[in-house]
Structures are given as C-alpha cells and as structure tokens.
Amino acid sequence: ALVEIDADRAKNMIADLSGLLRRVLEYRDDHLIRLHEELDLLQKYLDIEKVRFSEHLEIDLEVESGLDDLLVPALLLQPLVENSIQHGFSAKHPQLRIQLRIFRQADRLFFVLTDDGKGLLEEDPVALREKGVGLRNTFERLSSLYEDDFRFEVKNQEQGVVNFLDIPAQTVPALV
C-alpha cells in the first residue's frame, strides 16, 4: 500500500531496512563499534519507524560533541528505542516523544532515553529487565562485556519511562 501512495518513501524505507539488516548480520554479541556507527544504525531504524507512525512519533537526539569515536556495544540503543515505541503508544497516548541524551563525564559514557508514553505495567526495575526480551538481552550483553562495570536502569517516571545506562568510555586502541 505504501508503494502505491508514496513510491519514493517506500523505496527509502526498503533501503533503510536492508542497510539495517545488513549491519545487524555483521555484528556479534560482543562486537564494539564507534558511537557514530551506532547512531547511524539507530537512525536507519528510526527512519523506518517514522514511516510507520508518521507525525505520531517525535524523536529528539542530543549527543555531546567529541564522542563519535568512543566504543559502544553494537545495537545497544535500538532495543531500548523499540521498547519505548512498543510500550509507549496506547489509545490514551496516540502521540509519543522519545528523547535520547548521550554525554560523557570523566571516564564514563551515559545514555538517558526517556519517553512520554503510557509507562510500563511492571514497577520493579529488576523484573522489567528480566521480562522483556530486548531489555534482558541488553542487560546480559552489557554484563558479558563489562561484568559489574556498568549500570542499566529502566524506571517509570511521572509520564512515561526513563532508561539510564552508564558504561566505561572506551576509545579505539592506538596502533603502534
């Protein structure tokens, strides 16, 4: 149906989807990539979701400058954004705004993802991480990569959900 309504938009969405799938197949669970690559992957995913939800979905990204080459787990952000989209919309919440803030403090890299959706039914942060497949996989991957040197929290807020992630700020090793 989209092809008949807007062929150019359908063509772009298919290109984004194929690019996203190609990159997903390249990465292993322990694969670290530069932050700018992770943000490119996230943008491909967001472009697809914007076609689905049109004007009902608003995304704000705020990334501190100078972080592009820091290393992060591949496909770290997409499951978190997907979770916000999946659980944020409802009959009472037909509009969704997602905000992602990424910043560095000393040797730590922080990600704060918030949405203004309906919130999650479960209140216990540990139970939240264990129930959702995407959140559970994210937690397990972070645990495997960083052992105890990370923090990952998902909490309901007054309106919507906040995801908080703190990992070591790693750079690409210099070649000698």
* Helices 35-53 and 78-88, axial angle in degrees (round to 10): 20
- Return the residue matching tokens 């959702």: 132
Query: Which of these, 164, 120, 161, 121, lies nearest to 142 by C-alpha position?
Result: 164
The angle subtended at Cα 72 by Cα 152 and Cα 75, nearest 5°, is 80
The sign of the CA dihedral 88, 89, 93, 98 is positive
One-letter amino acid for residue 74 of the chain: A
**What kind of fold does domain 2-168 have according to CATH?**
Heat Shock Protein 90 (3.30.565)
What's the pTM value of the predicted model, to 2 decimals?
A: 0.83
What pLDDT digit, counting tens, does each position of 116-168 carry? 998 877 665 555 555 667 888 999 999 999 999 999 999 998 889 999 999 99
What pLDDT digit, counting tens, does each position of 20-41 carry? 565 555 665 558 999 999 999 9
